[in-house]
Amino acid sequence: AQTVTQSQPEMSVQEAETVTLSCTYDTSENNYYLFWYKQPPSRQMILVIRQEAYKQQNATENRFSVNFQKAAKSFSLKISDSQLGDTAMYFCAFMNNNAGNMLTFGGGTRLMVKP
């Protein structure tokens, strides 16, 4: 079974600054996917970024990028030029390539962007 750990329950950042959210996972699988989802106060789950484990290059989506360290089983999210709309819960999630596309979620990090 996989486990996903987010060690930072809450974080805050000043608007326009950069913040990094941590995520570690434990698995014996070699082929898998990792995701960061954002959940704003509206409670919608919004996909932020995804990373395939077989790709060495870190994924980037505009202001969002990841630092994927496969050997260390680490998958951190960096948000650059933070905006007030980035205030939300952020969840790291693991998907086993061979297990029905099921997601295992971390406990979440609550991010507050301050003006």
Binding residues (CB under 8 A) for another protein: these are 4, 33, 35, 42-45, 47, 50, 91, 95, 97, 100-108, 110
Comparison of 34 and 113: residue with beta carbon closer to another protein = 34
Min dist. Cβ of residue 24 to another protein (A): 14
Give the other-Cβ count within 10 Å of 77's Cβ.
Answer: 23
Min dist. Cβ of residue 16 to another protein (A): 28
Comparison of 95 and 113: residue with beta carbon closer to another protein = 95
Q: Going by C-beta distance under 8 Å and a sequence separation of 6 or more, which residues neighbour residue 32?
A: 53, 94, 95, 96, 97
Asked whether 12 and 115 are in contact (CB, 8 A), the reply is no
Q: Alpha-carbon distance 10 to 3, whole Å?
A: 20
Min dist. Cβ of residue 52 to another protein (A): 8
